[in-house]
Chain A
Amino acid sequence: MTVIPLKQPSTLQQDVIRLEGIVKGFGGAQALAGASLVVRRGTIHGLVGQNGAGKSTLIKLLAGLHQPDGGRIEIEGQAFDRLTPHLAEELGIHFIHQDRLLVPTFTVGEALFLGREPRIAGTPFLDRRLMQRRAAEILNDYFGVRLPNTALIGDLSTAEKQIVQITRALLNQPKVLVFDEPTAALVRREADILFRLIRRLRDEGVTIIYISHYLNEIEQLCDHVTVLRNGQDVASSPISETSAAAIARLMVERDIQDMFPKPVVALGDEILKVEQLSAPGKYEDVSFTLRRGEVLGLTGLLGSGAKELVRTLFGLEKPASGRIDIGGRPAHLSNPTQATGRNVALVPEDRRRHGIALDLSVKENTSLSSLDRFTRFGFLDRKSEQREVDALIARLQVKASGRDALLRTLSGGNQQKVAIAKWLSRHSEVYLLDEPTVGVDIGSKVEIYTLIGELAARGAGVIVLSSDLPELIGITDRILVFFRGRVVREFASSEATADRVLAESTGSPEGQRHVG
């Protein structure tokens, strides 16, 4: 387990990290097949790739959590045949993980200093005042926030937990900070604060490796980007010489115009009609119709009322006034049971809490909302259930080891396919999709877009709520923009642009916007 430095650093190297020709296999699967990553000092280096491209394996090698089967690792000009977690930390490489949860019952102070608590000199006692002061300095200086050291981690928001993680890293004066999907659970405003922080750290000389699914973030934040595909680096270039579209193409070997495969569907009868629906404080006087074969987009900032409207259509919230007709008959939706009874389906944003159960199998998740179909006198007809589930797995190309695999073992994209499959099994007719591609890799995204098109083509009415505007424009027929509880604008998707939709949803449509 000893680590032998092969060469001592001579001068300050221009490249902080050089990983070259890294090979790593797990059992039969080759996760990395000669991947390289060269990161220059003082830059923000983006690392992108689909799920399974090898990003996380590469990062885990850097963290010392995996050992390479072959290739060169050079940190600060010093060559290693492998790293350990301890060594990585000694070299000043620190990681901000979305998934590495902090212990919820720890206080902020305990979480920040865990394992390296400063002591009062010459005593075994913790120097709580020093801990408090150093934490407060960093928190205030970098984030402009005050988090008392005694606050419980469990009581913090996701953004605040991330601040604690970053602060913990900063207390060690890192040379390299690795951010792994840091914005996945952040709202826009919080992400902006994070970006400002990352730029500032770069300007102070910290080297940043930034991993993200969101190509617009990469484009906007990074100086340099490396694209991984199938365990190899397929491109590495300064961001100024590439674009989000080019990166996406490299990631999926697919042209960007194929990203949104929207079929042309002839519209059928009106299937949903919302008339003057109001819920004070949430939305006011909302009216629209949805026809069979139509994909209607909704968008708006947090609190704009769009999400609350979608929840109302699934019986999760009650309107104060107004009227909902489904299939030409009035609908009273005071709980999800009534909504599903009228063939309304919701694919919720919080997939892991509401969409699927991680500890139920693919089969159990898929048939959960349609058990009636497979029940005779209270008994399950397991054969017909299996047949339906197998058919859906094949149709949606769900990648799982079988129908009995727990959802926990599936990737985010495949979990989401199951969250949709359960409504296909029920033959739902009105689909409410709330942020349907959050936390989904690009390959699965395209498959989900294709599926949405198919739903419409088969005569369902689909409502998509999304804050990913290119996606929304790409897959819908019409878009309703919500602002402060009202529908302020309707676009034909073919005429909408992300800029215009964004301007409407922030309440500053053209002509009224101040330049600045």
Chain B
Amino acid sequence: MTKLILSTGNIVSGGPSIIRKPGGYRSNLELTNSLRSNFLAAQQDFAADAHADDDSAVALNGNGNTNGNGLHHSGRTPASVWTAQEEGALYVPRIDWSLAGLQEEPAQYDITVKLFFLPTAAVAGRAQHAKEALGLVLRELGVKEVNLLVMSFPGMSFEGDCEWEADRLNAKQGDDEEEAATWPAIEDLHRQGLVRNLGIAEFGSEKLARFLKKVQVRPTVNQINIKNCCNVPPPLVKLAKEQGIELLVHSDCTDILSRGTLRELLGPGIRGAGLLADPETGGDGLKGDLAPQWVVKYTAVVRDRGVIENKGYFACAELTEE
């Protein structure tokens, strides 16, 4: 089994991938577009590096036995060039950790991290996943703690004809038991001082009331999705107010990375990164079943200036060879 760690890098200056399209709210396009563009950029960057190395090789032995552009004969940059095997995981693309960190003192930032547990991952792995995901974010931002960690559980949404109905539908979604069972691991991160506040996403009034009864460290934030109508159902407003939980807006979908999307991103197709083997041609590449495990989104905002300095995603997938 191989673990893959995908990353977008800092996407705030990422151009089109961060731009909203009309009707495009609540989507995973930002994630998929920025992964795709980071893969492409890394392939170009490292191909250029490889090219530079080739040139020096030519100068040394003069045999000129290279393809001259750092590209594999398939026309793609070889995976070994732009990805890296490190500490038991394949980093796609490879990450130069020496560039990690924020520009100013950590105290200047509001850092929000949102962890998406995915339906394609085993519930038993969540404690490990949370630790791993948060660890990557802390490393990437060069900080020791974050202000807010929001948990997004699979199979939940806050949709329907206006928020009234959303609240009603929401009550039956997700899996109360699994969510409650996951929470102690998240509370641990808080107790270890890695996370100042905890949050959840897409909890309607009924689910939230049930959830609060089962937890020790209570969430201070509940992210909900609002459409054009700004009517938050009164029961949820009331409950949140009583419990001191802030209702924040988000526009992510919970099932943010599906198996199919991931295969397309990494696959041999024209919009893929060419990391997976092409079953048609039987060419090189990774083979096997690819299951998304989790996605984490992080945002570092300079607190008293409202400037987003760093935003990005990591995603983890497991490849089980057949």
Q: Do A and B bind each other?
A: no
Q: Which residues of B contact A (CB under 8 A)?
A: none
Q: Which residues of A contact B (CB under 8 A)?
A: none
